[in-house]
Amino acid sequence: MKEIKVSIIGFGTVGAGVADILVKNAELMAIRTGVKLKLEKIADLDIVRDRGVKVPEGVLTTDCNQAIAAADVVVELIGGTTFAKKVILDALNAGKSVVTANKALLAHHGAELFAAAEKNHVDLFYEASVGGGIPILKSLREGLAANRIGRICGILNGTCNYILTRMEREHAEFDAVLADAQKLGYAEANPSLDIDGFDTAHKTAILASLAYGQWFAADDVHVEGIRDLDSRDIANADELGYRVKLLGIIKNNNGAVEMRVHPTLVPKKAMLANISDVFNGVMVEGDMVGRTLFYGRGAGRAATASAVVADLVDIGRNILTGSVRRLPAFTEGKLFDRLASMEEIVSRYYLRFTVSDEPGVVASVSQILASHKINLASVIQPENSTKCAELVVLTHPASEKSVTKALDEISVLPFNLSPVRKLRIEEF
């Protein structure tokens, strides 16, 4: 059986995971798939530190170019968007197929990388960039190839889902849970990429691109993170039958594609609401298949490595059967008309007003909302001992534009004591 030589560039957490699988499960994979993957080189600046993997002698090197030259397939696991980009381009231009998990790089420079892969007639796969170990890209591109995609909603960031799960269970505030998550290693020292929603936006852009045939920029995604979430809103949602999840939402409304990331109220009975802790889940709706959901670990050494190695097996099959580029890195072919603006989206809303406790306030709020054609589904005013009252409103579907206008009007009224809290609701 011909061996497929694999070089890993970047011996960090996921790199060590990939090496571990290639050492431990290579024989199993050869039996199961007919593809024998050989760990040829691992390149890193630090080849001394113990990563808990027993790597065969001669595999470790600090020479990235040597590692690329020695391989049939190169795995980029450096992270970042500068040196990682150079490594991928070097490998592609040397005629090597590439596997990467680098969503930020793909979201920002995908088009350039895909062009290089096409020019050199090699494969570029990136299953691990979205949903960690979940084979969501394969499912979307291949398993659901027969479908027009109407909606995708994903819990795509394990750190955020872990924080939200704990905020809900422990009735705790964001800052306290984040600090603890950092201590436990579930959140980075600089957590912005995760908690401000950018990582979810990168992944949302990738999913939308595969669904609609144009490589979207991450900047086209409307992003709101979870940093400003108040535990009271999570508690209110709970009481109303919802959980708050950071969702990447993609919809196609008659050709207008929305891409947005924000904390979202999800009905408790929905499958997505029951995805807890660091787990990820992606719901995909197709015109033929109906609703599907894919669930698993969205991060972590072994799960992410599982996805990387699945790509290696795919590329190995292509090399062995002479069908490299059987599945192009990305297939251009626009399946939509235009991007929707945030103003035109239609959603249900959760609104929490902090108002002075005086007669007529509920009437005023309701009137202003009504004047913008926003219909109320329910209004709750919890009993309160202080002079201010909390007013929680769930709306029927309304346009973001109307809601923004209504809230602008309400915010300047004297009875409104602090900024209105607005969360969107997604129904399933």
The residue within the footprint of a second copy, chosen from 13, 33, 231, 399 (CB under 8 A), is: 33
Cα(93)–Cα(120) distance, integer angstroms: 6
Cα(412)–Cα(410) distance, integer angstroms: 6
Q: Is 121 in the site for a second copy (CB under 8 A)?
A: no
Q: Which stretch binds a second copy (CB under 8 A): 91-99, 159-167, 307-315, 420-428?
A: 307-315
Q: What is the DSSP string of 283-339?
A: EEEETTTEEEEEEEE-SSHHHHHHHHHHHHHHHHHHHHTT-TTSS-S------SSEE
Q: Which of 85, 96, 103, 203 is catalytic?
A: 203
Q: Do residues 334 and 314 make contact, with C-beta atoms less than 8 angstroms apart? A: no
Consecutive H or E run containing 377? strand 376-380
**CB nearer to a second copy: pick between 323 and 341:** 323
Q: Do residues 93 and 120 make contact, with C-beta atoms less than 8 angstroms apart? A: yes
Q: Is 172 in the site for a second copy (CB under 8 A)?
A: no
Cα(110)–Cα(17) distance, integer angstroms: 25
**CB nearer to a second copy: pick between 166 and 352:** 166
CA dihedral in degrees (368, 372, 377, 381; nearest 10)? Answer: -20
Q: Is 133 in the site for a second copy (CB under 8 A)?
A: yes
Q: Is 101 in the site for a second copy (CB under 8 A)?
A: no
Q: Is 271 in the site for a second copy (CB under 8 A)?
A: yes
Q: How far is the CB of 317 from a second copy (least distance, A)?
A: 5
The residue within the footprint of a second copy, chosen from 13, 81, 231, 292 (CB under 8 A), is: 292
Q: Is 329 in the site for a second copy (CB under 8 A)?
A: no
Q: Is 21 in the site for a second copy (CB under 8 A)?
A: yes
Q: Is 169 in the site for a second copy (CB under 8 A)?
A: no
Q: Is 145 in the site for a second copy (CB under 8 A)?
A: yes
Q: Is 288 in the site for a second copy (CB under 8 A)?
A: yes
Q: Is 153 in the site for a second copy (CB under 8 A)?
A: no
The residue within the footprint of a second copy, chosen from 289, 370, 413, 417 (CB under 8 A), is: 289
Q: Is 98 in the site for a second copy (CB under 8 A)?
A: no
Identify whether 203 is a catalytic site residue: yes
- The set of residues, in sequence order, having a beta carbon less than 8 Å from that of 73 and lying 6+ positions away, is 4, 5, 6, 7, 96, 97, 98, 99, 312, 315, 316, 319
Q: Is 13 in the site for a second copy (CB under 8 A)?
A: no
Cα(359)–Cα(357) distance, integer angstroms: 7
Q: Is 146 in the site for a second copy (CB under 8 A)?
A: yes
Within 10 angstroms of residue 383's Cβ, the number of other Cβ atoms is 6
CA distance between the termini of the chain:
48
Across the strands, what pairs with 99? 75, 125
The residue within the footprint of a second copy, chosen from 38, 213, 368, 404 (CB under 8 A), is: 213
The residue within the footprint of a second copy, chosen from 53, 107, 124, 134 (CB under 8 A), is: 134
Q: How far is the CB of 358 from a second copy (least distance, A)?
A: 44
Q: Is 296 in the site for a second copy (CB under 8 A)?
A: yes
Q: Is 93 exposed, middle or buried (CB count within 10 Å of its CB: 0-12, 13-18, 19+)? A: middle
Cα(37)–Cα(23) distance, integer angstroms: 9
**CB nearer to a second copy: pick between 307 and 420:** 307
Q: How far is the CB of 400 from a second copy (least distance, A)?
A: 29
Q: Name the pairing type of β-strands 36-43 and 3-9.
A: parallel
Structure tokens at 209: 């691109």
- Residues marked active site are found at 203
* Residues of the shown chain interacting with a second copy in the complex, contacts defined by CB under 8 A: 17, 21, 25, 28-29, 31-34, 127, 133-135, 138-139, 141-148, 213, 269, 271, 274-275, 286-297, 300, 302-303, 305-307, 309-310, 313-314, 317-318, 321-323, 325-328, 331, 333, 335
